[in-house]
Amino acid sequence: MAWKETHVMNERMKFIGEWLSGGLSLAELCRRYGVSRKTGYKYIERYQAEGPAGLEDRSRAPHHHPHAIGAECEAMILAAQAEHPTWGAKKLKRALETNFADRRWPARSTITEMLDRHGLVRRRRFRRRGLFSFSPLTLAEPANQVWGMDFKGWFLTKDGWRCIPFTLSDLSSRYVLRVQAVDKPDGRHVWRILETAFREVGLPEVIRSDNGAPFASAGAGGLSWLSVQLIKAGVRPERIKPGKPQQNGRHERMHRTLKEETANPPAANRREQQRRFDEFRRIFNEVRPHEALGLETPAKHYQPSSSVYSGRLREPEYAADHHVRRVRSNGEIKWLGGRVFLSEALIGEPVGIVETDDELHSVHYGPVFLGYLDRAGSFCPSVAGQPKNQKPPEENV
Query: Which tens digit of pLDDT belongs to each residue from 161-219?
Result: 999 999 999 999 999 999 999 999 999 999 999 999 999 999 999 999 998 999 999 88
37 three-class SS = helix
**Strand duo 206-209 + 332-335: pairing:** unpaired
Q: pLDDT at position 207, please? A: 96
- Answer yes or no: is 140 within a domain: no
What is the four-CA torsion angle of 199, 227, 373, 123, rounded to 10 degrees?
120
What is the identity of the amino acid at 238? E
Question: Based on the domain organization, do 232 and 175 belong to the same domain?
Answer: yes
- Answer yes or no: is 15 within a domain: yes
Nearest to 262 by CA among 197, 180, 190: 180
Q: pLDDT at position 123, please? A: 67
Whether the full predicted model's pTM is greater than 0.85, yes or no, is: no
Query: Which of 55, 81, 96 delimits the end of a domain?
Result: 55
- Answer yes or no: is 138 within a domain: no
Q: What is the DSSP string of 229-256?
A: HHHHHT-EEEEPPTT-GGGGHHHHHHHH
Cα→Cα distances 263→29, 252, 276, 374, Å = 100, 16, 9, 52
- Answer yes or no: is 136 within a domain: no
For residue range 303-315, list pLDDT tens digits in order: 999 999 999 999 9
Q: At what angle do helices 108-117 and 71-83 cross, to 10 degrees?
A: 80
Averaged pLDDT for residues 222-249: 88
What is the identity of the amino acid at 329? S
Q: pLDDT at position 131, please? A: 37
Residues in contact with 389: Cβ distance below 8 Å, sequence separation at least 6, in sequence order? 135, 136, 137, 138, 139
Range of the domain at 243: 146-300
Overall number of domains in the chain: 4
